[in-house]
Amino acid sequence: MSGCSAPERGVPALRCVGLEKSFGGVLALADVTIDFTAPGVVAIIGPNGAGKTTLIDGISGFLRLDAGRCYVGGRETTRLQPYQIVRRGLVRSFQDVRLIQQESALDNVMLALTRQREEALLGALWPMRHKAEEELNVTTARDTLRFVGLDDNAESRASDLSYGQEKLLALACCLATRSDILLLDEPVAGVHPDTIVRILELLRRLKDDGKLVIFVEHNIDAVRQVADRVIVLDQGRVIADGSPGAVLARPEILDAYVS
Amino acid sequence: MDTVAQLVANGLIAGSGYGLLGLSLGLIYATTHFFHFAHGAVYTVAAYAAFAFIALSGLDAWLGIPSAIAVAALFGAAVDGFGYAPLRRRGAAPLTLLVASLGIFVAVQAVLSVAFGPGVQRLHATGADAPVALFGARFTVLQSVTVALSAGLYALTFVALHHSRSGRLMRAVGSDPRLALIYGIEGERVVMLSFAAGSALAGVAAVLAAYDTGLRPSMGFNALLVAVVAVVVGGVRHPTGAYWGGMTLGFVQQIGAWVLPSQWQDVIVYAILIVLLFLRPASFRGGSASRAE
Amino acid sequence: MEYLLHIVVVIEIFAILAISLDLVAGQAGLLSLSHAAFFGIGAYASALLALHGTAGYLTEMVVAMATAIAASLLVSSSSIRLHGEYFLIATFGFQLIVFSVLNNWTAVTGGPSGLPGIPGASIFGWQLRSALDFAAVGALQLAIVYLVVRLMVRSPFGRVLRAIRGDEAFAQSLGKNTVGVKVAAFSASAALAASAGTLYAFFSSYIDPTSFTILDSVLILSMVLIGGSGTLHGPLIGAVVLVTLPELLRQVGISGELAGNLRQLIYGAALPIVIAFRPKGLVGRSGLDGRFGAK
For residue A70, give its domain range.
14-255
**pLDDT at residue number B132:** 82
Size of interface B-C (CB pairs under 8 A): 170
Q: List chains adjacent to chain C, taking adjacency as at least 3 C-beta pairs closer than 8 Å.
A: A, B
Q: Which of C29, C81, C92 sits opposite B285 (nearest CB)?
A: C81
Asked if C173 and A177 count as a contact pair (C-beta separation under 8 A), the reply is no
Amino acid found at C108: V
Burial environment of residue C59 by CB neighbours within 10 A (0 to 12, 13 to 18, 19 or more): middle
The whole-number pLDDT of residue B183 equals: 67
User: Residue B218 falls within a domain, yes or no?
Assistant: yes
What is the average pLDDT score of chain B?
85
Residue C152 and residue A134: Cβ atoms within 8 Å? no
**C147: closest CA among C267, C88, C253, C232?**
C232
Per-residue confidence (pLDDT) for residue A259, from 0 to 100: 41
Nearest C-alpha in A relative to C168: A100
On whether ipTM exceeds 0.90, the answer is yes
pLDDT tens figures, C167-209: 999 999 999 999 999 999 999 999 999 999 999 999 999 999 9
pLDDT in tens, A112-134: 998 888 888 888 888 887 788 88
For residue A98, the Cα-to-chain-centroid distance in whole angstroms is: 12
Would residue B292 count as lying in a domain?
Answer: no
pLDDT for residue C68? 98
Q: Report the residue of chain C nearest B273, measured CA to CA.
A: C90
DSSP β-bridge partners for residue A69: A17
State chain C's mean pLDDT as an integer: 91
Q: Is the pLDDT of residue B290 over 50?
A: no
Q: Let me know if residue B116 belongs to a domain.
A: yes
Task: Give pLDDT tens digits for A22-56.
Answer: 988 888 999 999 999 989 999 999 888 778 999 99
Q: Determine which of B263, B275, B288 to mutate to test the interface with C (most C C-beta atoms within 10 Å).
A: B263
In a domain, A2, yes or no: no
pLDDT over 90 at B247, yes or no: yes
- Return the higher-pLDDT residue of B58 and B49: B49
Chains in contact with A, where contact requires at least 3 CB pairs less than 8 Å apart = B, C
Q: For residue B284, tell me if it sits in a domain.
A: no
Cβ atoms within 10 Å, residue A221 = 12
Nearest to C80 by CA among B272, B284, A86: B284
Q: Concatenate the DSSP letters of all residues of A100-168 into one string.
A: -TTSBHHHHHHHHHS-GGGG-TGGGG-TTTTHHHHHHHHHHHHHHHHHHT-GGGTTSBGGGS-HHHHHH
Number of structural domains chain A divides into: 1
> Phi/psi class of residue A192: alpha, beta or left (left: φ > 0; alpha: ψ in -120 to 50)?
beta
Percent of chain C with pLDDT over 90: 67
pLDDT at B130 over 60: yes
Nearest to C152 by CA among A128, A124, A134, A133: A124
Residue type, A90: L
Confidence of residue B291 (pLDDT cuts 50, 70, 90): very low
What is the pLDDT at residue B177?
Answer: 64
Q: What is the pLDDT of residue B65?
A: 93
Q: Is residue B290 part of a domain?
A: no
Range of the domain at B72: 4-278
Residue C278 class from Cβ within 10 Å (0-12 exposed, 13-18 middle, 19+ buried)?
middle
pLDDT digits (tens, 9 = 90+) for C101-118: 999 888 899 999 999 999
Q: Using CB atoms, which residue from C31, C89, C214 is nearest to B228?
A: C89
Lowest mean pLDDT, pick from B10-19, B106-115, B275-284, C81-90: B275-284
- The pLDDT of residue B165 is 82
Number of domains, chain B: 1
pLDDT at C294 exceeding the cut of 50: no
pLDDT score at B180: 63
In a domain, A192, yes or no: yes
> Which pLDDT band, with edges at 50, 70 and 90, does B287 fall under?
very low
CA nearest neighbour of B38 among B220, B210, B175 = B220
> What is the average per-residue pLDDT within B188-195?
87
What whole-number percentage of chain C has pLDDT above 70? 96
Q: What is the CATH number of the domain that holds B248?
A: 1.10.3470
- Give the tens place of pLDDT for each residue, A64-84: 999 999 999 999 999 999 999
Closest residue in C to A1 (Cα) is: C175
User: CB–CB of A62 and B288 under 8 A?
Assistant: yes
pLDDT at B289 over 90: no
Residue A1 lies in a domain: no
Question: Binning pLDDT at 50, 70 and 90, where does residue C257 land?
Answer: confident
The per-residue pLDDT for B162 is 87
Question: Percentage of chain A with pLDDT > 70?
Answer: 95
Q: Summarize pLDDT for A213-224 with one digit per residue, the tens.
A: 999 998 889 999
Residue A39, preceding peptide bond in cis (omega within 30° of 0): yes
Distance to chain C for A34, nearest Cα, Å = 22
Looking at the domain assignment, is residue A183 inside a domain?
yes
Question: In this predicted structure, what is the pLDDT of residue B166?
Answer: 81
Please report, for the domain that includes residue A136, its CATH number: 3.40.50.300
What pLDDT does residue B189 have?
A: 83
Give the residue, C290 or B61, on which the prediction is more confident. Answer: B61
Bridge partner residues of A215 (DSSP): A43, A184
Task: Tell me the mean pLDDT in the region C49-64.
Answer: 90
Round the average pLDDT of chain A to a whole number and report it: 90
Q: Which amino acid is at C227?
A: G
Helix, strand, or coil here: B49?
A: helix
Of C88, C270, C295, the CB nearest to B98: C88
Report pLDDT digits (tens) over C69-100: 999 998 998 888 888 888 998 999 899 989 98
Using alpha carbons only, what angle is made at residue B211 by residues B203 and B207, rounded to the nearest 5 degrees?
Answer: 5
A195: pLDDT strictly greater than 60: yes
Q: In this model, does residue B24 exceed pLDDT 50?
A: yes
